[in-house]
Amino acid sequence: MIKFDAVSKRYPNGTTAVDDLSLDLPEGGVTVLVGSSGCGKTTTLRMVNRMVEPTSGTISVGGRNVLEADAAELRRGIGYVIQQSGLFPHRTVLDNIATVPLLLGWGRRKARARAAELLELVGLPADTSKRYPHQLSGGQQQRVGVARALAADPPVLLMDEPFGAVDPVVRTQLQNELLRLQEELRKTVVFVTHDIDEAVRLGDRIAVFRTGGRLVQCAEPAELLARPADDFVADFLGAERGLKLLSLTTLADVPHAPGRAIRADEPVGAIGRDGGRWRLVTSPRGEPLGWLDTDALPAGGTAGEAELAAVRPLRDTDSLLSALNEAVSSPAGAVARVTADGVLTGVTSRDAIHDRAGRSHADATRAAAPAAPSRTTAEKTRTTTEKPHEPAGEGVTPDDPAPDDPGPEAAAPAERPA
Partner 1 sequence: MTVEWGWFPDHAGELTRLTADHLATAVPAVLFGLLIALPLAVLAHRVRPLRGFVLGASNILYTIPSLAFFVLLLPVTGLTRTTAITGLTAYTLVVLVRNTVEGLDAVPERVREASKAMGTRPLRTLLTVELPLALPVIMAGVRVATVMSISLVSVASYIGYGGLGQLFTDGFQRNFPTPVIAGVALTLLLALAADALLVTVQRLCTPWRRGTPRSAPKLWKRA
Q: Give the separation between CA 104 and CA 87, rounded to whole angstroms.
A: 19
List 5, 20, 74, 392, residue binding partner 1 (CB under 8 A): 74
CB of 181 to partner 1, least distance (A): 19
Question: Which of residues 3, 10, 76, 382 is near partner 1 by CB under 8 A?
Answer: 76
Cβ atoms < 10 Å from Cβ of 226: 22
| Three-class SS state of 67 | helix
**Dist CA 236 CA 128 (whole Å):** 40
Q: Which of residues 83 and 140 has its CB atom nearest to partner 1 in the complex?
A: 83
DSSP SS3 for 247: coil
Rank residues 341 and 409 by Cβ distance to partner 1 and give the closer one. Answer: 409
User: Does residue 69 belong to the site contacting partner 1 (CB under 8 A)?
Assistant: no
Indicate the residue among 92 and 129 with the shorter CB distance to partner 1.
92
Q: Which residues contact 306 (CB under 8 A, 6 or more apart)?
A: 268, 281, 292, 297, 298
Q: Which of 25, 33, 59, 82 binds partner 1 (CB under 8 A)?
A: 82
Site for partner 1 in 2-61 (CB under 8 A): 49, 51
Dump strand ranges (E) for 50-120: 56-61, 64-65, 78-81
Candidate residues 56, 64, 89, 365; the one interacting with partner 1 per rule CB under 8 A: 89
Backbone angles phi, psi at 192, to 5 degrees: -105, 135
In sequence order, the β-bridge partners of residue 136 are none
Give the nearer residue to partner 1 in terms of CB position, either 100 or 181. Answer: 100
- What is the separation of C-alpha 398 from the centre of its chain, rounded to a whole number of angstroms? 24
Q: Which of residues 357-416 bind partner 1 (CB under 8 A)?
A: 411-413
Strand order in the sheet with 308-309: 262-263, 278-282, 288-293, 308-309
Nearer to partner 1, 189 or 357 (CB): 189
> Which of the ranges 29-37, 66-74, 236-244, 263-271 carries the binding residues for partner 1, by CB under 8 A?
66-74
Q: Which residues bind partner 1 (CB under 8 A)?
A: 49, 51, 72-77, 80, 82-84, 86-92, 99-100, 103, 132, 134, 148, 411-413, 418
